[in-house]
Amino acid sequence: MELGILKDIVIIFALSTGVNLLFTRLKVPTAVGYLLTGIVAGPHLLGLVEGEHQIELLAEIGVALLLFTIGMEFSLKHLLRIRRIVFAGGFLQVFITALVFYLLSTFYELSWQSGVFIGFLVALSSSALVLKLLQERSELTSNYGRTVLGILIFQDILLVPLLLFTNILSEATVNLSRELLLLGVKTVFIIALVYAGNKWIIPKLLHQIALAKNQELFMMSIFLICFSIALLTSSLGMSIAFGAFLAGLMLSESEYSHNAFANLLPFKDTFTSFFFVSIGMLLDVQFVLQNSALILLTVTLVITLKTIIAGGVGFILGHTFRGTVIVGLALAQVGEFSFILAKIGHSTEIIPLFYYQLFLAVAVITMALTPFMMKLSRPLAGLFLKLPLPKVLVEGLFPLKQVAIPEMKNHLVIIGKDASAMKLSLMAKHFDLPHISIIFNPSLAREKMEQGDKVIYGDAVNEPILLNANVDKADVVVISVGNIIPSMAIIEKVRNLNKHVRILARAKEMQNVGQLYKLGADQVLPEKLEIAIDLFNRVLLEKLYSSRDINRMLTYIRNSHLGEFTEKDKVNMPSLLDDLTTINISAVTTEPGSGAIGKTIRELEIRSKTGSTLLAIRRGEDVLEHPGPGTKIESEDVLYLMGDLEQVNLARELFSSDHDQGKL
């Protein structure tokens, strides 16, 4: 048995575990840890890993699984919505970047062929890294997330023409008209396959497999679909990762996609780690040390120019200044497919060895810096926004037209753009509860406006936005913003504007609860705790605990976590019934044949005969609250009675089918 690859995997896992443990404590993204693992274990430093080709194979599987899960999460409908971004945005970003770096290559004394080739190498960004970070941050379907994804999809599609272009630059014998015709046929075939697979083939196939009720068979079929489409696109000259993304899109509309997504996550994260390790192995540390000044200059140029160009494209597509900065920094690195092209370019002598090594160093370093750049993008944008920038730059080329908000008072204000805020808005709308939403996402705000909702687009940290929503006259404000810093700022502003408003805020972590209460929140819902409490509540209901016992247990759990802020929690507060320990509210059904049927409540004398009190009657779908003395009892009425166990049991006998009324 060949143990070489097993030894390499053990070494990679051991190093990754140690590095990631350290990086997790330092709150550094794990992708950087994997890159560092590759650098340390690679042939240019310690040389611990020998089977580089096998690791590259595992890396390809990891990227394929990553793109497969992203395809499932995104769906074909979302892709069709961003087709303008894919083709217009992607085209502008790639070709402007390629042109700028071609012009820049003249300062590096490269031939025009090398300059053009390197221009396209630098134009590509890392789908694997950026989409993984967006997925982890739940920002894949955000306004800027869609733009980033659209541009990355265009770059992936462009890999086939770039491979053809590489052959032309290397002066290989190429029948251009034949190759272009083949490319067109392949494109039409892929589009038809994805559409047919999404609409007919995959849903029917998975339905038949699901009927077998065999999870092992189900997962085998998911892997088969993923790798079959990946293999097909690879045989057509496209990347394996792009094929896996298409397979994910085919599955996205299926009712079984969520089950597949959940089962694939552990595999995806494990195999994706090999991709970052394999990239780290390419970095020649000695070359970096010998040419550190040149590499630093080139890295700075690549990040700066790519940020400006990609951000500029985002601005043309209608993003605000904040979105422009986020899009620019998300696409500022060099991508994984550039390594494939660079290897071919070096082997065909389009780029000399020195510039090949320079490219590898710059690419790995820009990828390592990407998690930090994406994390800093929002604070950096906020810093720039303090400058007196032109209004068109701040609001974008297509500013959202603000809907005139009428004067309102004693209304609800919902601040946030997450699923919780959107669902809360739908509930308020359904029950005609007067409310205004403040949403800091132009596309989502526009969508809600088109549905007739009262929506204000803007950052609720800004006081004019809050005043526009009549926060100073509202009676309840809900703040559902994930980030603790904006949440704190919004609570402080709202409380300054309205001393009497009830402020309900969502907190991601328990340690944030005290901070929000101290700033003026009246009710803070710790997200993870409330989910756990809800699950425990359902468990207790299944175990048939009484409402009073459940109420007391949940109150105790909340109080033990809230500490000094216990008195502020208004959920599951003890009621009068909790203090009256012998009193229960029970449901008693009038059995067919009971002597009570047809008699009025006055005639039955329930109170005097049993000691229990009739509160309400359920009759079919209707509930009769506070039934009068003249109300007649019907068969299968459900009577809600308040009393102790003995009193309720007497009442149950009164409405049973074999009870003799005269004996009571």
Query: How many Å apart are CA 535 and CA 528, to the nearest integer?
Result: 11
Closest CA to 283 of 351, 364, 341: 364
Closest CA to 84 of 298, 286, 316: 316
Task: Tell me if 525 sits within 8 A of 504, measured CB to CB.
Answer: yes
Same domain for 513 and 538, yes or no, is no
Predicted confidence (pLDDT) at residue 2 exceeds the cutoff of 70: no
Measured between alpha carbons, how far is residue 424 from residues 107, 406, 417, 436, 503 in Å? 57, 21, 11, 11, 15
Q: Is 99 exposed, middle or buried (0-12, 13-18, 19+ CB in 10 A)?
A: middle
Measured between alpha carbons, how far is residue 637 from residues 278, 513, 618, 647, 649 in Å? 71, 46, 6, 19, 17
In a domain, 206, yes or no: yes
pTM of the entire predicted model: 0.64
Helix (H, G, I), strand (E, B) or coil at 142: coil
CATH number, residue 646:
3.30.70.1450
Same domain for 358 and 415, yes or no, is no
CA 277 to the chain's CA centroid:
25
What does DSSP assign to residue 632?
B
Backbone angles phi, psi at 114, to 5 degrees: -65, -40
Same domain for 539 and 628, yes or no, is no
In a domain, 394, yes or no: no
The structural domain count of the chain equals: 4
What does the pLDDT look like over 528-558, one tens digit per residue? 777 788 888 888 888 877 777 787 788 778 7
**Residues facing 585 on adjacent strands:** 642
- Between helix 292-316 and helix 90-105 the angle, nearest 10°, is 150
What is the predicted pLDDT for the residue at 138?
67
Same domain for 289 and 166, yes or no, is yes
Same domain for 591 and 608, yes or no, is yes
| Residue 365 CB partners (closer than 8 Å, separation 6+) | 283, 295, 299
pLDDT band at 176; cut points 50, 70, 90: low
Same domain for 209 and 124, yes or no, is yes
Q: Long-range contact list for 54-58, CB < 8 A, 24+ apart?
A: 54/4, 54/5, 54/8, 55/8, 55/12, 55/274, 55/277, 55/278, 55/281, 56/278, 58/9, 58/271, 58/274, 58/278
More confident residue, 564 or 177: 177
pLDDT band at 74; cut points 50, 70, 90: low
Measured between alpha carbons, how far is residue 184 from residues 177, 191, 236, 496, 541 in Å? 11, 11, 12, 62, 60
What is the predicted pLDDT for the residue at 400?
61
| Residue 144 CB partners (closer than 8 Å, separation 6+) | 314, 319, 323, 326, 327, 330
More confident residue, 568 or 141: 141
Same domain for 136 and 199, yes or no, is yes
Tell me what the mean pLDDT of segment 130-145 comes to.
77
In a domain, 242, yes or no: yes
In a domain, 38, yes or no: no
- Between helix 127-136 and helix 143-157 the angle, nearest 10°, is 160
State which residues form the domain around 425. Answer: 400-521
Query: How many Å apart are CA 346 and CA 324, to the nearest integer?
Result: 35
Helix (H, G, I), strand (E, B) or coil at 456: strand
CA 226 to the chain's CA centroid:
22
Beta strand 476-479 with 613-619 is unpaired
Q: Which of 501, 521, 541 is the last residue of a domain?
A: 521
Closest CA to 42 of 15, 79, 20: 15
Tell me what the mean pLDDT of segment 490-519 comes to.
87
Same domain for 111 and 187, yes or no, is yes
Measured between alpha carbons, how far is residue 365 from residues 134, 296, 330, 360, 543 in Å? 20, 9, 14, 9, 56
The H or E element containing residue 455 is strand 455-457
CATH number, residue 203:
1.20.1530.20
Beta strand 476-479 with 523-526 is unpaired
Tell me what the mean pLDDT of segment 215-234 comes to.
84
In a domain, 395, yes or no: no
What is the predicted pLDDT for the residue at 63?
73
Query: How many Å apart are CA 295 and CA 359, to the nearest integer?
Result: 9
In a domain, 26, yes or no: no
In a domain, 30, yes or no: no
- Tokens 């907190």 map to which residue? 507
Measured between alpha carbons, how far is residue 640 from residues 611, 615, 627, 657 in Å? 14, 6, 11, 18
In a domain, 40, yes or no: no
Same domain for 505 and 558, yes or no, is no
What is the CB neighbour count within 10 angstroms for residue 428? Answer: 19
Tell me what the mean pLDDT of segment 496-517 comes to.
86
What does the pLDDT look like over 11-22, one tens digit per residue? 888 887 887 788
Query: How many Å apart are CA 325 and CA 308, to the nearest integer?
Result: 8
Same domain for 379 and 415, yes or no, is no
Same domain for 512 and 628, yes or no, is no
pLDDT band at 300; cut points 50, 70, 90: very high
Same domain for 448 and 318, yes or no, is no
